[in-house]
Structure 1
């Protein structure tokens, strides 16, 4: 697969970041949030993996600044450090 080729994502409230480069997240996450709001999906799961926590901190930093994000937290299950749950404001 060509790295410049766009990746089509299902808009279902689950965003797995394993397919993306960290440099892409600044545009990807806000665009995905906006697409979910358009489809009236207000609960998201963003899968960032465990690792050293760099990707998780980047995701949380982006969520902190997005006006539609009501709250976010680490998932409280077996992948707790590997995913963040996001609640969006309902318009």
Structure 2
């Protein structure tokens, strides 16, 4: 009684980050970057953000390359591009229940933006 099991101690590596329109990835271990970006994008989309900035730094471009590779296949991402200053600007698809600018429901496929494609 009274002693705590160290195996049940809180994880010291857990970071709680407020969701804002940008995230600085310098504060995370390189091994965690992709999972951080994935979770950040999902939460930013859920909160209704339409554009976010991922700050990865200039350097040799290793982190930028890894992050942008993830963005090419991420379901929340419509498009993205480097700003030339060490970050990538990402346009997010609207949530399925979120109205787009014309007041219509967002399409089921976020990449179509409500445009009907030829069958």
Tell me, yes or no, whether TM beats 0.5: yes
Aligned length: 85
The root-mean-square deviation of aligned C-alpha atoms, in Å, is 1.4
Query: Which residue pairs with 1:4 in the alignment?
Result: 12
Q: Give the one of 46, 65, 69 matched to 2:77.
A: 69
- 1:1-91 counterparts in 2 under 5 A? 4-75=12-83, 80-91=84-95
User: Larger C-alpha radius of gyration, 1 or 2?
Assistant: 2
Normalised by the size of structure 1, how large is the TM-score?
0.86
Higher RCO, 1 vs 2 (CA within 8 Å, ≥6 residues apart) = 1
Normalised by the size of structure 2, how large is the TM-score?
0.67
Q: Which has the higher helix share?
A: 1
Tell me the distance in 2 between the aligned counterparts of 1:39 and 1:31.
Answer: 12
Tell me the distance in 2 between the aligned counterparts of 1:17 and 1:4.
Answer: 18
Query: Which residue pairs with 2:100 in the alignment?
Result: none
Structure 1's unaligned 5+ residue stretches are none
Deviation beyond 4 Å, 4+ runs, structure 1: none
Q: Which has the higher strand share?
A: 1
